[in-house]
Amino acid sequence: MAWYIVRRFLQMIPVFFGATFLVYFLVFSLPGDPIQALFGDRAVNPAVADQLRAQYNLDQPFLVQYFLYLKNLVTVNLGNDFSGRPVAEVLAQVFPVTIRLAILALLFEAVFGIIFGVIAGLRKGRFFDGTILVASLIVIAIPIFVLGFVMQYVVGVKLGWAKPTVGAEAGWSDLILPAIVLGLVSLAYVIRLTRTSIIENLNADYVRTATAKGLSRPRVVVVHILRNSMIPVITFLGADLGALMGGAIVTEGIFNVPGVGQRLYQSVLRGEGPTIVSIVSVLILVYILANLLVDVLYAWLDPRIRYA
Amino acid sequence: MPEHRRDYIEHYVAPIEETPLQATDKVSEDVQPLSLWAEAWRNLRRQPLFVIASVLILLIVVVALFPALFTQTEPNANCQLANSDGGPAPGHPLGFTIQGCDVYARLIYGTRASLTVGIFATLGTLLIGGTLGAIAGFHGGWLDSVIARIGDVFFALPLILGAIIIMQLPFFRENRNVWTVVITLVVFGWPQVARITRGAVISVRNADFVTAARSLGVSRPAALVRHVIPNALAPVIVVATVNLGIFIVAEATLSFLGIGLPPDVMSWGNDISAAQVSLRSNPSTLLWPAAALSVTVLSFIMLGDALRDALDPKARKR
Q: Is residue A184 within 8 angstroms of chain B, CB to CB?
A: no
Q: Does the residue B30 lie in any domain?
A: no
Q: Does the residue B271 lie in any domain?
A: yes
Of B88, B120, B79, B123, the C-alpha closest to B266 is: B79
Q: What are phi and psi of B302, to 5 degrees?
A: -65, -40
Q: What is the ipTM of this complex?
A: 0.78
Check: CB of residue B92 under 8 Å from CB of residue B273: no
Residues of B in contact with A16 (CB under 8 A): 156
List the 202-261 stretch of B: residues with Cβ below 8 A of A: 245, 249, 252-253, 256-257
Shortest alpha-carbon distance between residue B18 and chain A (Å): 33
Of A8, A25, A28, A145, which to mutate for an interface test with B (greatest number of B Cβ within 10 Å)? A145
Q: What gap in Å lies between CA B114 and CA A278, rounded to an integer? A: 34
Question: In CATH, what number is assigned to the domain containing residue B104?
Answer: 1.10.3720.10
The maximal CA–CA distance of chain A, rounded, in angstroms, is 86
Structural domain boundaries enclosing B217? 36-71+94-311
What does the pLDDT read at residue A191? Answer: 92
Tell whether the model's pLDDT for residue B317 goes beyond 50: no
Q: Do B318 and A203 touch (CB under 8 A)?
A: yes
Of B107, B161, B116, the C-alpha closest to B270 is: B107
For B236-268, what is the HEC assignment?
Answer: HHHHHHHHHHHHHHHHHHHHHHCCCCCCCCCCH
A·B CB contacts under 8 A: 119
Of A194, A222, A229, A223, the C-alpha closest to A109 is: A194
Instruction: Label residue B314 by pLDDT band (50, 70, 90).
Output: low
pLDDT tens by residue, A157-186: 778 787 777 777 777 878 888 899 999 988
Shortest alpha-carbon distance between residue B157 and chain A (Å): 7
Of A29, A124, A149, which to mutate for an interface test with B (greatest number of B Cβ within 10 Å)? A149
Tell whether the model's pLDDT for residue A66 goes beyond 80: no
Q: Which alpha helices (DSSP H) does A214-259 contain, by range? A: 217-219, 227-246, 249-255
Q: What gap in Å lies between CA A146 and CA B128, rounded to an integer? A: 31
Q: Do A145 and B164 touch (CB under 8 A)?
A: no
Q: Is B160 exposed, middle or buried (0-12, 13-18, 19+ CB in 10 A)?
A: buried
Q: Does the residue B13 lie in any domain?
A: no
Instruction: Label residue B61 by pLDDT band (50, 70, 90).
Output: very high
What does the pLDDT read at residue B60? Answer: 92
What does the pLDDT read at residue A33? Answer: 65
Q: What gap in Å lies between CA A71 and CA A52, rounded to an integer? A: 20
Q: Does the residue B305 lie in any domain?
A: yes
Q: Does the residue B18 lie in any domain?
A: no
Of A288, A285, A280, the C-alpha closest to A87 is: A280
Q: Does the residue B86 lie in any domain?
A: no
Q: Does the residue B82 lie in any domain?
A: no
Higher pLDDT, B75 or A264: A264
Span B70-88, mean pLDDT? Answer: 71
Residues 6+ apart with CB under 8 A from B285: B85, B95, B96, B97, B98, B103, B271, B275, B278
Q: Is the pTM of this model over 0.95?
A: no
The single-letter code of the amino acid at B80 is Q
**Phi/psi class of residue A257: alpha, beta or left (left: φ > 0; alpha: ψ in -120 to 50)?**
beta
DSSP E strands, A7-152: none
What does the pLDDT read at residue B203? Answer: 84
Number of domains chain B contains: 1
pLDDT tens by residue, A199-248: 888 888 888 999 899 888 888 888 888 888 888 888 888 878 878 887 78
What does the pLDDT read at residue B85? Answer: 66
Check: CB of residue B90 under 8 Å from CB of residue B96: no
Q: What gap in Å lies between CA B106 and CA A64, rounded to an integer? A: 50
Shortest alpha-carbon distance between residue A138 and chain B (Å): 7
Q: Does the residue B19 lie in any domain?
A: no
